[in-house]
Amino acid sequence: METIYQQMLQRYEVLIQRQVDIAGQYKKLDLAKAQVEAEVEGAKTYLQTGFHDPAVKKQYQKLGQLKKDLLSSSKSAQRVVESKTHVVIRILQQHGQQGLDADEIVSFLPSHNTELDRNYLTTILSKLRKKGMAVKDGNKFFVTEPRHPHIAAVPAS
């Protein structure tokens, strides 16, 4: 048997072992998840019997909100979502050396996995202009240099 086939057979065996190990880890996690979910349901049921006490009800609701917050932050940590304003700034930085008009900016949005209607884009550009982060010359927009508020301007002599 050729060496390359022997190496591939060994690699295949290692991969199969990893698949089996990962499947075992999933089974353990599923069991742990089921146990925790059962305990959570039991705790919720017990606590709901104490709703005659406003302090119990208030703390229960706080914990419910905490759960929602923690779950949503873990999802956002898994998938970083860039704001539409940041996407527009990045497009201007990457493609706007000669300036871009609104239609040109809209044409770059799909390559940044962003959908934005032209009216909302003009709102974003207007806000960027008001903040001094973009300028308009004719119908072309340019991103301005970042400001450094901690550096004081030198007075003219």
Give me the pLDDT at residue 41, please.
92
Mean pLDDT taken over the chain: 84
Instruction: Name the 3-class secondary structure at 137.
Output: strand
Q: Per residue in 71-84, pLDDT tens?
A: 775 555 444 556 88
pLDDT band at 69 (very low <50, low <70, confident <90, very high): confident
pLDDT band at 101 (very low <50, low <70, confident <90, very high): very high
What backbone torsions phi and psi does residue 149 show, to the nearest 5 degrees? Answer: -65, -20
Q: What's the sign of the alpha-carbon dihedral 100, 106, 107, 113?
A: positive
User: Could you tell me the two tokens for 8?
Assistant: 């591939």
What backbone torsions phi and psi does residue 80 show, to the nearest 5 degrees? Answer: -80, 125
* Cβ 121 vs Cβ 88: under 8 Å: yes
pTM, whole model, 2 decimals? 0.44
